[in-house]
Chain A
Amino acid sequence: MTTTATMVWLIIGCALVTWLPRIIPFMFVRSVKLPEVVLKWLSFIPICILSALVIENLLDTENGKIVTLNWPVFITFVPTLMIALVTKSLSITVVAGVIIMAAVRFFM
């Protein structure tokens, strides 16, 4: 259970730069009325960011010069998407996705 002063300051620095982007909008949106076009823009953020987080994992950017699909993840993604579409359930999709991923890794 040890650390150094340098490490503590480094962690505090990192904490600040992750904290500020999280809280600043919550602080200033209270006093500013956002224009209609900005609200419209923000309404597209959830779908964009959620698909970005999925696509980020579907792409293999580390092996070779050409960005390809990360096949084990993609093969797991397809049935997981089906399960999500059919069940519309977060818990079932997560548990099924993990089981399929484990199976894919076992057989590939």
Chain B
Amino acid sequence: MTSTTDFQNETVNTPDDSFLQGVKDCIPTLLGYISIGLAFGVVGSASGLSVLEIALLTILIYAGSAQFIFCALLLTNSPASAIIVTIFVVNLRHLLMSLTLAPHFTRYSMLRNVGFGTLLTDETFGVAVTKQMQTGKLYGKWMDGLNITAYSFWIVSCVTGAYLGQWVANPEKWGLDFALIAMFVALLVLQLSSVGKSKIMHYLMLIGYMFVIMYGLSYIVPSHVAVLLSTMIVATIGVVTDK
């Protein structure tokens, strides 16, 4: 099962490197994927997309926010060029996430790296950086387990939502939209608790800056642009103020 290059770089029997461990580490994120996926399927069919189109969007785009915005723009009869440009900007934050994770996977082949990148999402990014901070290393098989589990659940949830269509009660009423936010809160806390005591004040200060800059930017740009810009600005402040 293990190729020679993997064998040299990995301790085979540590639990952190297995595909199965990746699957297990994905489980806490699944409620988020299932609820948002079902909601997307419902919204998609309400926007006039066929089940086939919803499945194609889900399989090929694989990004919750981008898929929702696709539906919204379609409903307003936006031109194809506007839809593509908007989707590009909405998902540009993945460039930063991918850039953050990539240095931990340079020992794997180009093809496997393309695989890690292709299935990167906000959630798998969050789980992976937290794992990296806690254990110091990331393994390809673990990443595949995490990614493939998330991807499968996302596809099944979106398509199920598409079939259920109007019969699903509003998922917001059941608080399911908060699953994602709660997950980001928990990942943030896990990140903070694994940085050393000496750095924690610095990180808390950066989160303070994030709030102020996000708030200010919210007046002038759409929120997905605010996420991107404020992250880049505050990471720069982080470098400058780091001792």
Which residues in B have their C-beta under 8 angstroms from that of A18? 61-63, 66, 87-88, 91, 94
Contact B190 A3 (CB under 8 A): no
Asked if A97 meets B181 with Cβ closer than 8 Å, knowing A17-B88, A59-B214, the reply is: yes
Contact A84 B189 (CB under 8 A): yes
Is B20 part of the contact surface with A, judged by Cβ < 8 Å? no
Q: Chain B: interface secondary structure?
A: helix
Q: Mark B58-97 against chain A: 1 for CB-CB distance below 8 A, else 0.
A: 0011110010001000000000100111011001111111
The smallest beta-carbon distance between A106 and chain B, in angstroms, is 8
Asked if A42 meets B223 with Cβ closer than 8 Å, knowing A22-B94, A102-B175, the reply is: no
Q: Chain A: interface secondary structure?
A: helix
Q: Mark B179-219 against chain A: 1 for CB-CB distance below 8 A, else 0.
A: 11111111111111100000000010011001100110011
Is B177 part of the contact surface with A, judged by Cβ < 8 Å? yes
Contact B98 A81 (CB under 8 A): no
Is A5 part of the contact surface with B, judged by Cβ < 8 Å? no
Query: Could you list 8 examples of A-B contacts with CB < 8 Å?
Result: A13-B83, A18-B62, A26-B116, A55-B211, A80-B178, A89-B28, A98-B35, A99-B175
The chain B residues found within 8 Å of chain A, CB to CB, are: 27-29, 31-32, 35, 50-53, 56-57, 60-63, 66, 70, 80, 83-85, 87-88, 91-103, 105-106, 110, 113-114, 116-118, 120, 122, 125-127, 129-130, 133, 172-193, 203, 206-207, 210-211, 214-215, 218-219, 223-224, 226-227, 230-231, 234-236, 238-239, 242
